[in-house]
Amino acid sequence: MDGKSELPKRGLVVVITGASSGIGEATAYAFAREGAHLVLAARNGRALEDVAGRCRPLGGRAIAVVTDVGDAGDVKRLAEQALQFAGRIDVWVSNVGTGAVGTFHETPIEAHEQVIRSNLIGHMNDAHAVLPIFIRQQRGVFINMISLGGFAPAPYAAAYSASKFGLRGLAEALRGELADHPDIHVCDIYPAFVDTPGISHGANYTGRKLSAPPPLLDARTVAATIVRLARRPRPTTMVGSATAVVRLGHFLSPELSAWLMARFLKSYFHRAAPAARTSGNLFRPAPDPGGIDGGLRSPRQRAAAAGLVVVGSVLLATLALKAARSRR
């Protein structure tokens, strides 16, 4: 950025959607420590107010705006309230994400639709609300939370996969349209599996208890990456070595990477403890505030993480290369 349009060193005006728990909550605290003016959005007003209250002693100004990102009118009002609060918007963190786990045909179509509405349409609503403001300002950073699911399919979470692949396409298209606005940035973040309440809060139609494979990232690590991106924007940022492994495997052999993931999940569901089928927080906010952590990282998982990444990288690359050679 040139000197005229450089973002202020302190007092950034930051909108964060999905700010009531997980990565969004961690990001709110990270920006608060930088003295940011925060506009926090989610459906759970009680949890949002709690997060806003925790931001203020850290050095940030903060307001909570109850928002359903699947409702375009709600998101427009969010942008208007941000302008009323601080007079501009410097950074918009489009962070809402949810999922519905289960075989595609046994998961209610309404659940698939809601995942798309939250994960894809919601981010489109965010961009549609803030980009005209950025263009008037001639600057701004739109940070688009995707996941490693943007690079490879997630069997038993088909709508989640569709939404994340769609987000990647949306962001690439927007960067093309905004090429004549060098100080407006669309930044994608692709974290690996993150230890947040998202898994326990999401819809589960498998009848089995859900977890996530190690290595699991701390949401605060992702939040720190978001703060850095606000200062030094770049189009694509991967967080966690597992993302690079998944991206490589899918590049070398899309069919094999999907097959391996499906086999892994089938094995897991077979061994996992029974659990109630639930729509989770798809259609209404989770009853509990959630917090940042999901409680899935154990000391043993953290110790094994580095080894698993190395072994997984070698195995996946080897299998994918064999598959590519057999096709030839």
DSSP bridge partners of 163 = none
Q: What span, in angstroms and rounded, lies between the C-alpha atoms of 205 and 207?
A: 6
Token pair listed for 320: 């994918």
Give me the helix-helix angle, 158-177 and 122-137, nearest 10°.
20
Burial of 211 (0-12, 13-18, 19+ CB in 10 A): middle
Query: Is the dihedral angle over the CA atoms 22, 23, 24, 26 positive or is it negative?
Result: positive
Q: What span, in angstroms and rounded, lies between the C-alpha atoms of 152 and 246?
A: 7
DSSP-assigned letters across all residues of 137-193: HT-EEEEEE--GGGTS--TT-HHHHHHHHHHHHHHHHHHHHTTT-TTEEEEEEEE--
Catalytic residue (one of 29, 156, 160, 205): 160
CA distances from 305 to 78, 242, 248 (A): 39, 10, 18
160 has catalytic annotation: yes
Q: Which residues are catalytic?
A: 160
